[in-house]
Amino acid sequence: MERRNMKKVTILIPCYNEESSLPALYQALKELMEGQQGYEWEVLLVNDGSRDNTISEIRKLREQDKRICYIDLSRNFGKENAMLAGFDYATGDCMVIMDADLQHPPHVIPEMLKYWEEGYEDVYAKRITRGKESWLRKRLTLLYYHLLQKTTRVEILENVGDFRLLDRKCIDALKQLRETQRYTKGMYCWVGFKKHEVLFEQGDRVAGESSFNFTRLLALAMDGITSFTTAPLRIATVLGLLVSVVAFAFMCYVLITTLIWGDPVQGYPTLMTVVLFLGGVQLLSLGIIGEYLGRIFHETKGRPVYIISEREGV
């Protein structure tokens, strides 16, 4: 009876090519769960179409410890969609989301649970440092968060990722957001609820290499901007208006000078500069519109966000 009344904590871990990280991850989680015996634990691993032996390692962990549950997706759908699969199948009263590479240290979780017990519904971990990242990547990341804060009506937390504890209320709210072009970091803020931060030192990967290269990070940034703000469309409108005003003023100038001083055959460089500039502005505006239209196109298909190949324990 006492066991049945214990609160249940789900640890959600998306995995992509994390075969070499899983043994160390399991040992760290095992120490955590044995040190926090006042809770019932569920570790939910979501294999996001890994190309190595990640799913085989997960099956071995399941055989050793029945607290390990897993979902094997039919292909790589991306971390955001893999997390949604975890939201759908998590059974805990709260859920902790963390990475498999131990950059998110499990020893922070007891502090998260403490604030959750105090009534906070979204306890997010804020990085003190960003680990071994290049100077350029750090600068671009901070610039991205600054731009997002300035252009959206929803407060996007800076230096805060997916490492957080969510109450069942938050989980149920996030499950209702089924869009395919997902930016979960913004969704955490959009759904609201009572939040509290904890600080942590981000560690380095225990094994393997990060799958988030510059191209994937740029795509994630585009998803964040287009999912939570229409500011690029407004910028394109304002830029088009300004260019039209300048072009009209230049047209008046050319007309007046022609009437007064005649029309010598000159100005080819100026003409080409204006034409190329206007063409660049038009292509930029069309590109911005195309980004939003592409997302509308994907949403109208109505396809499932993910497809499960195998699941165990859920």
In this structure, which amino acid lies at residue 190? W
Amino acid letter, 20: S
| CA-angle at 301, arms to 299 and 302, nearest 5° | 80
∠264-270-276 over CA atoms, to 5°? 140
Query: Which pLDDT belongs to residue 95?
Result: 92
Q: pLDDT tens digits, residue range 72-126?
A: 998 888 888 898 999 999 888 899 998 888 888 888 889 889 899 888 888 888 8
Q: How many CB atoms neighbour CB 3 within 10 A?
A: 6
| Helix/strand number for the chain, H first, E second | 10, 8
Kindly tell me the burial class for residue 96, based on how many C-beta atoms sit within 10 Å of its own C-beta (0-12, 13-18, 19 or more).
buried
Q: Distance between alpha carbon 212 and the CA centroid of its chain, in Å? A: 11
Cβ atoms of residues 92 and 65 within 8 Å? no
**Residues 72 and 47 sit within 8 Å (Cβ to Cβ):** yes
| pTM score | 0.68
- CA 313 and chain centroid, separation: 27
Cβ–Cβ under 8 Å, residues 157 and 86: no
Specify the 3-state DSSP secondary structure of 175.
helix
Integer Cα distance of 132 and 19 in angstroms:
21
Query: Chunked in runs of 10, what are the mean pLDDT values of the chain (314 residues)?
Result: 69 89 88 85 90 88 88 88 90 89 86 89 80 61 63 66 88 87 79 84 59 56 61 68 71 68 60 68 74 75 84 84
Q: What is the pLDDT of residues 237-272, one digit of tens each?
A: 677 767 767 766 776 776 676 666 665 556 655 666
Q: How far is 94 from 107, CA to CA, in rounded Å? A: 17
Label the pairing between strands 8-15 and 94-97.
parallel
